[in-house]
Structure formats: C-alpha cells, structure tokens
Amino acid sequence: MTRACSDALVDVLVVGAGAAGMMAAIEAGRRGRRVRVVDHADRPGEKIRISGGGRCNFTNLGCGPANFLGENPRFATSALRRYTQHDFVKRIDGAGIAWHEKTQNGRSLGQLFCDDSAKQIVRMLTDDMAAAGVVLSLKTGVTRIERSGEGFTVILSDGSQVTAASLVVATGGKSIPKMGATGWAYEVARQFDIRVTETRPALVPLTFEAGLLETLTPLAGVAVDASVASAPEGAKARKASFNEAMLFTHRGLSGPAILQISSYWREGEAVVASMAPGRDVFEELKAAKASNGKQAVHTALGHIVPRRLAESLCQREAASGNLADLSDKVLRRLDQAVNAWAVKPVGTEGYRTAEVTLGGVDTAALDQQTMQAKAIPGLYFIGEAVDVTGWLGGYNFQWAWSSGWAAGQVC
Ligand code: FDA
C-alpha cells in the first residue's frame, strides 16, 4: 500500500527502461530524487541484451561529436564531454565486468565489448537502480500526459495515475518494432509543440532492384574489406566514406561499411565501393600478365578479391580467357569494377532491421547541458529519441549513457 502511494507521487517519472532511461534514473535516484521508471516491455534493457551479438559494444574509445549525425551534431558535445566513454569504462570496471577492444587486421577499432555477456551491463544498471531506490514498473505503458501546475500528470496503461515534477522521455526510436520500439517519444514532442526532424532507418542494410539482385545473388555470403563512400549531389554534410567489411546478401548489401554509409545515403543516390582499397588493380593485373600470361583472368583477379566476386566481375565486364589475351583497356575496366563500383540501391531493409533511427526530437528545442525542453520546464528527452545519431561502433550507447547522465543531474 505504501509502495502504491509513493509510486503515484514521484519527483521523476522516466518512460523507457533502456540504456538512457536507466542511466538517468540512477543518477536522479542517487541525488535523492524519488524516481519511477515505466516500460511497456516485460524486461528492461532489451536492446543492450541483444546488442553486439550478445556482448554489447557499449562504447567507443574514440567517441566525439564528429561521430554523430543530426541537424546540429555539435549539440551532443556538452553531454559527451561531461560524461565520457572513460567514465562509462570506469563504471564497467567498478562492476567487475571484463571487456575487450575489437581489432581488425591488427588495427584497434576503439569498440569495447563485454568479454562475457551484455546481460552483465543490464544487471549492473538494474542493481544500481535498486540501490538508488528507483521503482521499476514493467509491462506498463502511458496512455495520457497532462501538464499539471509545474509538473505532469501521467495516466498509465493500467489506469493508474502518476504525478511527477519531471518527466523524462527515454523510449528510443522506431528501429526493431518487434522489440517494442514505437516512436512514442515523437508523439510526446508533438503534444508539447516540439518539432521532430525527419526520421528514417539508419545503420541498416541497403537493398537492390530485382534485375541487379539477380546478377548479384550468386555472391550472397561473400564478404570483402571495402571502402564505401556516399555520393550525394551537392550535399556536403552527407559526404562520408568508411573502411570496413562489406557483405553481399540475398537482398543487396550489408556489413559494417554499408550500415555506416546507410546513414548518409538517400533515395536515388549511388554508393561507391572500392573492394580492394589502396590496391592498384590495373598494375597488379598487368604485372600478373607479364609474369604468367597463361593465367585465367578470373584466377588472377581472385588473388585480389574473393574468388566468387572475381568470377562475377569478370563475367560482368566481359573479361574472359587468359591474361595474355586481354588488352589494357579490359584490365582498366576490371580495375574500375573493383575499385569504383557505383551502385544505386533502391531502398533499405527499413526499421525491421535498422540498428537506429536517424532524426528525432529537434535539438534546437532542447538545452544541450540538461536535455530539458527549453519551452517546457521539467520535460526531458534523452537517448535515441533525440536527433543525435551515432555511427556504428558503440557511439549510440555512449550517447544514451551521456545524455541520460546529463538529464539525471538535474531532473
Ligand atoms: P532503447 O530503445 O534502448 O530503450 C527504449 C525503451 O523504451 C525500451 O525498453 C522500450 O521497451 C521502451 N519503450 C518504447 N516505447 C515505449 C512506450 N510507448 N511506452 C513505454 N515504454 C516504451 N548501439 C551501440 O552503441 N552498440 C551496439 O552494439 C549496438 N547494437 C545494436 C544492435 C541492435 C540489433 C539494435 C537494434 C541496436 C543496436 N545499437 C547499438 C543501438 C542501441 O541499441 C540504441 O542506440 C540504444 O539502445 C538507445 O538507447 P535508448 O535508451 O535511447 O532506447
């Protein structure tokens, strides 16, 4: 009975028990605020649990504002500086969670993962919430929000009512609706006349039209280390390139390099892939021709890119037979096909598989130190709900920790 009474009158109501919401709740609870967190899912931190293949890429050592997209990427600077990746690492260390940094071909990527399981992070956060006196109500949504005096009256899905001085919206974006993503934060923003920027799936595989797909289907499962660039006409802000793995799939292209570039790509535009970055394919084929002209061209190309890809490219460029029979013109065509492959996706796999939502609650309406809505004191938006979207590699969780921490200092 006492619990029910106190749950109905709190200082802070956080909606969303994801990375950002739990972080804000812990910080506010530690300040002595009476905090309640509601979430319509039956478990907290589900995206943390499934992320990074179950090991959660929880931050990136190189995290900074340059790793984020949004109408005003500088907005993230304050929170990222005040609660950094190193602060979160200290927290993980304090909880005794072992971690490692991912490397690729001996290169450190700055991406930190749990050695054991992402569940350890969820447990750390739920333990910290309990220790800070935060009340967590699962399987509980929100049906209505009303402004009441200085605070908010919130009607929950079970019909009960909560009055709170501060309302923290931490319900994430629209990606993976199967996991309960709703885009509800945008409805709350609109209710309070706060603009929401255009939202679209990001960190998502790109898809091809049927004709192109038919020619590329035999390559499904082939992976290459590639450099993939966006090719926007005139839109400087969307020029980007990423050097990471690229994967051919039954629907189009995926892999880290493609997920990264998907955040910059727009309908009608091409992406340009270099599938042997830094290698002069023409010179290498010419040298192979000089040393062993009897070698089949697809075999020679197969020493530069995976064999199946080499065969497909030779077929597409009508390059068959032995190297000795091929002119420089054909070898240059192969060079282009490998290192300047411009391809126009027709779309993305959408929110079904997107790791994040690009766009969200307009940062111009929020205070960058506290995440509080400038025009509505007591209302906060944090995490993925906000128009701050990170690259692949632990940046999105860092934004969730940093923005949640920032709100938690004042809400
Ligand atoms: P998040 O989505 O985590 O939490 C929102 C919470 O609100 C959820 O618990 C949800 O149930 C709840 N909710 C939603 N609507 C509600 C409503 N109407 N009422 C009540 N509750 C509601 N990032 C990264 O940095 N490293 C990584 O390894 C990965 N990996 C990864 C894998 C996959 C498959 C996905 C989909 C995403 C990632 N990400 C990632 C992105 C990362 O998961 C994401 O950016 C953060 O979880 C965002 O944290 P939030 O707390 O803002 O939202």
State residue 105's pLDDT score.
Answer: 79
Is the predicted pLDDT of residue 379 greater than 60, yes or no?
yes
Q: How many Cα atoms occupy the beta-carbon half-sphere of 326 within 13 Å? A: 31
The CA angle 340-108-99, to the nearest 5 degrees, is 135
Q: Is 4's pLDDT higher than 90?
A: no
Banded pLDDT at 323 (limits 50, 70, 90): very high
Q: Closest Cα to atom 43, ligand 1: which residue? A: 47
Dist. CA 350 → ligand 1 center (Å) = 16
Strands 161-169 and 9-15: parallel
Q: What is the pLDDT of residue 104?
A: 81
CA of 272 to the centre of ligand 1 (A): 30
Residue 86 has pLDDT above 60, yes or no: yes
* Interval between CA 373 and ligand 1 midpoint (Å): 21
- Mean pLDDT throughout 26-31? 98
Whether this prediction's pTM lies above 0.80 is answered by yes
At 150 the pLDDT is 87
- Give the whole-angstrom CA distance, residue 130 versus residue 136: 8
Contact residues of ligand 1, CB 6 A cut-off: 15-21, 39-41, 46-47, 50-52, 56-57, 141-142, 170-172, 175-176, 180-182, 184, 355-356, 383-385, 394-397, 400
Query: Higher-confidence residue: 83 or 178?
Result: 83
If you take atom 18 of ligand 1, which residue's CA is the nearest one?
184
The secondary element (H helix, E strand) that includes residue 213 is: helix 210-216
User: Which of 396, 398, 403, 405 is the pocket-test mutation for ligand 1 (most atoms within 8 Å of CB)?
Assistant: 396
Q: What per-residue confidence (pLDDT) applies to 51?
A: 96
**107: which strand partners?**
104
Contacts 24+ apart (CB under 8 A), 184-192: 184/15, 184/142, 185/16, 185/360, 185/361, 185/381, 185/385, 186/360, 186/361, 186/385, 188/145, 188/379, 188/381, 189/361, 189/362, 189/365, 189/381, 191/145, 192/373, 192/375, 192/376, 192/379
Query: What is the chain's mean pLDDT, rounded?
Result: 95
CA of 202 to the centre of ligand 1 (A): 13
In 3-state terms, what secondary structure has residue 334?
helix
> Ligand 1, closest atom to CA 47?
43
From the CA of 89, how far away is ligand 1's center (Å)? 20
| pLDDT on residue 2 | 36
pLDDT at 134 (0 to 100): 98
Closest CA to 47 of 167, 178, 139: 178
Stretch among 99-103, 145-149, 236-240 having the lowest mean pLDDT: 236-240
CA of 55 to the centre of ligand 1 (A): 15
pLDDT band, residue 5 (cuts 50/70/90) = very low
pLDDT of residue 185: 98
For residues 59 and 333, give the distance between their C-alpha atoms in angstroms, rounded to a whole number.
42
What is the average pLDDT across 218-246?
91
- The answer to whether the CB of 383 falls within 8 A of the CB of 18 is yes
| Nearest CA residue ID for atom 53, ligand 1 | 172
**β-strand partners of 166:** 12
386 and 403 Cβ atoms separated by less than 8 Å? yes
- Assigned token pair, 187: 């409805």
Q: DSSP code of 351?
A: G
Reported as a single tens digit per residue, the pLDDT across 156-205 is 999 999 999 999 999 999 999 988 898 999 999 999 999 999 999 999 99
Helices (H), 320-369: 328-339
Checking if the pLDDT of 49 tops 70, the result is yes
Atom of ligand 1 nearest to the CA of 175: 36
pLDDT band for 121, please (50, 70, 90 cuts): very high
What is the ipTM for the molecules in this complex? 0.99
Minimum-distance ligand 1 atom for the alpha carbon of 60: 25
Which element (helix H / strand E) includes 22? helix 19-30
Give the span between the Cα atoms of 196 and 209, in whole angstroms.
31
Question: 382-400: per-residue pLDDT in tens?
Answer: 999 999 999 999 999 999 9
Residue nearest to atom 21 of ligand 1 (CA): 39
Give the whole-angstrom CA distance, residue 201 versus residue 139: 26
The reported pLDDT for the residue numbered 6 is: 60
**Residue located nearest, by CA, to atom 52 of ligand 1:** 383
The Å distance, Cα 25 to ligand 1 centre, comes to: 16
Distance of CA 315 to the CA centre of its chain: 36
Comparing 94 with 109, the larger pLDDT belongs to 94
Give the bridge partners for 154, in sequence order: 145, 162
Ligand 1 atom 2: residue of nearest CA: 172
pLDDT of 1 > 70? The answer is no
Residue nearest atom 30 in ligand 1 by C-alpha distance: 51
Per-residue confidence band for 55, with pLDDT thresholds at 50, 70 and 90: very high
